[in-house]
Structure 1
Amino acid sequence: MNLEQARYFMVEQQIRPWDVLDPKILDILMKTPRHNFVDKEYTSLAYSDIELPISDSNKMLAPKVAAKMLQALAIQDNEKTLEIGTGSGYVTALIAQLAKEVTTVEIAPEIQQQAIQRLTDYNNINFKTGDASQGWDDNQYYDAILLTGSIQDVPETYKEKLSLGGRLAVVTGDAPAMTAKLITRVSDTEWSEETLFETVLERLVNANENSSFEF
């Protein structure tokens, strides 16, 4: 199988038709070998429009969903970012190419360790392990935050972690009608909210009872 050609088709047949047209996003998608972030048994499916398994209960975001959310975040090369849900490390790699620095948090140490091994080429990633379902208390502000699992309602703690002008991309609501949103901090006490698209995503671990996490 020609993986380079498969990656090209992913961008042209999945990503562009979903109105992801930002040249920076398309460029990093073309440059980043997604097949290096999947288990070997799924190599042939690495560029398919599906959520590939990471473990028994965890999955990668579909490529077009990840791309659409990154486009909305509009991360700049001088910005600090926070990712909740390291997962396979693929989205982490994409963010690391856009941002000055990315802090990524994963609840499962074994999953994050595997991602660390895949991300040795990047020197601007800070790996953290812990439960970030209700927030991440590191006394830092971020220009962009991405939650890669869904939540019913946005925790105020994440809105408060945004710097002025900072953006939060998140999927909220209940299946089968969840909504991807972009929340922007416009002042010390005000945030704007934009609806991006409809989707369905498993819950962030511990965000709700009997939940699991997709990323």
Structure 2
Amino acid sequence: MTINYSQAREKMVEQQVRPWDVLEPRVLEAIARLPREEFVPAAHSALAYADMEIPLAHGQKMMKPVVEGRCLQALDVQPGDDVLEIGTGSGYLSACLGALAREVLSLELYPDIADAARANLERTGLGTNVRVETANAMEYQASRQFDVVCVTAAVETLPAHFLQWLRPGGRLFVVRGHSPVMEAVLVHNDVNGPRIESLFETDIAYLAGAAPAPLFVF
């Protein structure tokens, strides 16, 4: 059966993303325009617009479309912004950020996932202002600061050096806490220090090196 991806994309926006209070026109336009099916692994292409996480290599996952939409809306990415993305994954969210920002630097821990994301971005022509770098975010030392930092996997607690990547007035999206009830937050780098805005509850996979220590039960 041939899937009408254009129709599926429209349904995703109207039946999933909008009802989850994603109402920012620029965000909706980007999601409605970008071909998510081009970033989903071939084995799962039929699920490109489903309300579910999609598995990638190494136990990684694409976030649900509704979470991606809320993330993009919260970050309020402007055309002149420089963005740092932690966790490239398929490259889909990188492309969405690129559609809204001036440029995107995306860090991916796994070289094969990074290569696949670069190929996705190149094939779709959506990666002209997106650069994918293989790096471990838990050890990464940025040579500059960014207007927006988007963390696509969860952390138990936010590493202090993540905040050092933000310019004054910058915004950082991250999901924090303990599975299965985690909190998505937006951190504003205000003059008086970081200000945390609670967004919604969710549950996503941890960033490598940022998960809670396992509990041993005797």
TM-score range relative to shorter protein: over 0.9
Q: Distance in 2 between matches of 1:180 and 1:62?
A: 13
Contact 2:186 2:196 in 1 (8 A): yes
The runs of 5 or more residues in structure 1 that have no matched partner are: none
The runs of 5 or more residues in structure 2 that have no matched partner are: none
Match of 1:206 among 206, 209, 215: 209
Q: Distance in 1 between matches of 2:115 and 2:18?
A: 32
Listed as ranges, the matches of 1:3-152 within 5 Å are 3-120=5-122, 121=125, 122-132=127-137, 134=138, 136-152=140-156
Listed as ranges, the matches of 1:157-172 within 5 Å are 157-172=161-176
TM-score by length of 2: 0.92
TM-score by length of 1: 0.94
Match of 1:192 among 192, 195, 215: 195
Pairwise CA distance, 1:208: 2.8
Pairwise CA distance, 1:71: 0.3
Q: Distance in 2 between matches of 1:167 and 1:123?
A: 23
Output the amino acid matched with 2:117.
A
Pairwise CA distance, 1:135: 5.2
| Larger relative strand fraction | 2
C-alpha change, 1:140 and 1:148, in structure 2 (3 Å) is same
C-alpha change, 1:127 and 1:56, in structure 2 (3 Å) is closer
Instruction: Calculate percent identity across the aligned residue pairs.
Output: 38
Contact 1:135 1:155 in 2 (8 A): no
Which consecutive aligned stretches of 4+ in structure 1 deviate over 6 angstroms post-superposition?
none
**Looking at both structures, which has the greater relative contact order when contacts are Cα pairs under 8 Å and sequence separation is at least 6?**
1
